[in-house]
Amino acid sequence: MALWGGRFSGESSALFKLFNDSLPVDYRLVEQDIQGSVAWAMALVKVGVLTEAEGQDLKAALDALLVEVAEDPQQILASGAEDIHSFVEQALIDKVGDLGKKLHTGRSRNDQVATDLKLWCKAEGEQILARMQVVRVALLELASREQQAVMPGYTHLQRAQPVTFAHWALAYVEMLERDISRLEDTLKRLNTCPLGSGALAGTAYPIDRHALAASLGFAGPTLNSLDAVSDRDHVIELCSSASISLMHLSRMAEDLIFFNSGEAGFIELSDQVTSGSSLMPQKKNPDALELIRGKTGRVYGSLMGILTTMKALPLAYNKDMQEDKEGLFDVMDTWSICLEMLIPVLSGLKVKRANTLAAAQGGYANATELADYLVAKGMPFRQAHHVVGEVVVKAIAEGKPIEAMSLESLKAFAAVIEQDVYEILTIESCLSKRDVLGGTAPNQVAAVLAAKS
Ligand code: ARG
């Protein structure tokens, strides 16, 4: 039975019920709805709406309901209730009769759903945070395992300068740390309790909203009832934090897909996270990574969806806002499983060091070194840049790296070049010269790893 029958003489149509009901989505809030209901019952006892004994009976029935739905979650959807709030209230009435009908005194589904959803966001956000920490550790372990590996760094997807593989992995640690702090910040801001805001104007009972908020684990109560029942910033912020985080994961996936390609041949992915082709026996496809890259799209879609839903809503609650959950639930599920999937991808990943080294040595990634060498010999950088460009043209024509050119042919470009040039053209020299905070020199990378591990 609907919670609001009195004003109506006719039944709503089956189509309307199908269209209007949110139970198929918001059944996931059952725990939070029960938790919020227990807290509300206790608050009603404190203001004398319920006796102590009534409060205890309601609490016992709600606690029992929590156990029952955990054992048999199917019963929620089978109930055909309008939404999770109606389900919990009806189940309570079925258990304790008329007493159950007292629970909704001074409460509205508007402050109820806002509270339930924030409780859910808090719990889910904490789980994502924990998962991000595990991915961070997996990246740090990968970086320390592969500290010796050298590979080309790219700009414009052209080999630019050599970097260590660990330096690459630590770049994603930086992103992950920003993502963690963004989510922590989001969770801090959403930590206010709407319960007691009523439908929109505040409840008419003298509830101690500070105590109520504390009893539900919130940092404090919301301070404006109109805002409290119609604020979905936390949904938007979670979708936004997820979008940024998945943008990072998608870039990591893309890098690894490229590293795994036949063209690069830089890494080997574990059999656990790859699949074969039904037709081509030789293939080992990086499906897990492609799906992380692919799923990023739907998360952005949900962010756009909720932003658009909210953009022209008048204060306060409007039913449009019921559309907040489907996208959010999908975002948090997707974010969570992408993070989870990355863990075996990273821990099973092996770098083919001979290949990455060969690639770092090819592609004239040491051209900048030669320019710096000429600068050290007194040539202005712009001129040195031009000279080295000509050297590279010649080297390409001869089909060899710069360091394979004879001293004589190098001197033809700049007389200041001496035998000592060959030392600075080595990979080791390229790397160790980037000995600046944030640079790829092995000692810098080791220091970062030590500090973060
Ligand atoms: N199912 C609704 C939602 O998720 C609950 C709030 C309903 N409030 C109302 N006034 N109809 O938004």
- What per-residue confidence (pLDDT) applies to 11? 86
3-state helix, strand, coil in the chain (%, to 5): 65, 5, 30
Please indicate whether residue 82, judged by its CB atom, sits closer than 6 Å to ligand 1. Answer: no
321 lines ligand 1 (CB under 6 A): yes
Annotated active-site residue 167? The verdict is no
Please write the tens of the pLDDT for every residue from 346-364: 999 999 999 999 999 988 8
Given a cut of 80, whether residue 2 has pLDDT beyond it is no
Please answer whether residues 302 and 2 qualify as being in contact, where contact means their C-beta atoms are separated by less than 8 angstroms. Answer: no
Q: Which two tokens stand for residue 324?
A: 């907040």
The residue-averaged pLDDT of 390-407 equals 94
pLDDT category at 1 given cuts 50, 70, 90 is low
Nearest to 41 by CA among 55, 21, 61: 55
Q: At what angle do helices 233-260 and 165-189 cross, to 10 degrees?
A: 170
For ligand 1, is residue 237 a contact (CB within 6 Å)? Answer: no
Pocket perturbation via mutation, ligand 1, pick of 19, 33, 88, 109 by most ligand atoms within 8 A of CB: 109
Which residues have CB under 8 Å from 182's CB, separation 6+?
A: 241, 244, 245
Q: How confident is the model at residue 3 (pLDDT cuts 50, 70, 90)?
A: confident
Whether the CB-CB separation of 41 and 58 falls below 8 Å is answered with yes
DSSP-assigned beta bridge partners for residue 161: 153
What whole-number distance in Å separates Cα of residue 327 and Cα of residue 342? 22
pLDDT in tens, 116-146: 999 999 999 999 999 999 999 999 999 999 9
pLDDT tens per residue, range 67-111: 999 999 999 999 999 999 999 999 999 999 999 999 999 999 999
| pTM score above 0.85 | yes
Rounded Cα distance between 160 and 219, Å, is 50
Is the C-beta atom of 322 inside 6 A of ligand 1? yes
Burial of 352 (0-12, 13-18, 19+ CB in 10 A): middle
The residue type found at 115 is: T
Rounded Cα–Cα distance for residues 206 and 202 (Å)? 10
* The two structure tokens encoding residue 202: 């505040």
**Whether the predicted pLDDT of 289 surpasses 90:** yes
Q: Strands, DSSP E only, in 76-157?
A: 150-155
**Mean pLDDT score of the chain, rounded to an integer?**
96
Tokens 């989510």, residue located? 183
> DSSP code of 49?
S
Q: Coil, helix or strand for 351?
A: strand
Task: Decide the pairing of beta strands 350-351 and 267-268.
Answer: antiparallel
CA dist., res. 194 & res. 183, Å (int): 21
Query: In whole angstroms, what is the distance from residue 278 CA to residue 287 CA?
Result: 14
Cα 432 from chain centroid?
34
Q: What amino acid occupies position 387?
A: V
Tell me which of 156, 261, 278, 336 is the catalytic residue: 156
DSSP string, 183-231: HHHHHHHT-EE-TT-TTTT--SS---HHHHHHHTT-SEE-S-HHHHHH-
Could you confirm whether 240 is annotated as catalytic? no
Which residue has its alpha carbon closest to ligand 1 atom 3? 322
Give every CB contact of residue 140 below 8 A, 6+ residues apart in sequence: 169, 170, 173, 449, 452, 453
pLDDT higher than 90, residue 7: no
8 Å CB contact between 132 and 176: yes
- Tell me, what DSSP letter sits at residue 287? H
- The amino acid occupying position 214 is A
The residue from 12, 13, 275, 277 that is catalytic is 277
Q: 21 C-alpha vs ligand 1 centroid, how far in Å?
A: 9
Amino acid at the residue 131: R
Q: Of all atoms in ligand 1, which is nearest to the CA of residue 325? A: 4
* pLDDT of 279 over the 70 cut: yes
Whether omega for the bond prior to residue 316 falls within 30 degrees of 0, making it cis, is yes
pLDDT by residue (tens digit) across 151-200? 999 999 999 999 999 999 999 999 999 999 999 999 999 999 999 999 99
Calculate the alpha carbon distances from 175 to 160, 209, 453 in Å: 22, 38, 16
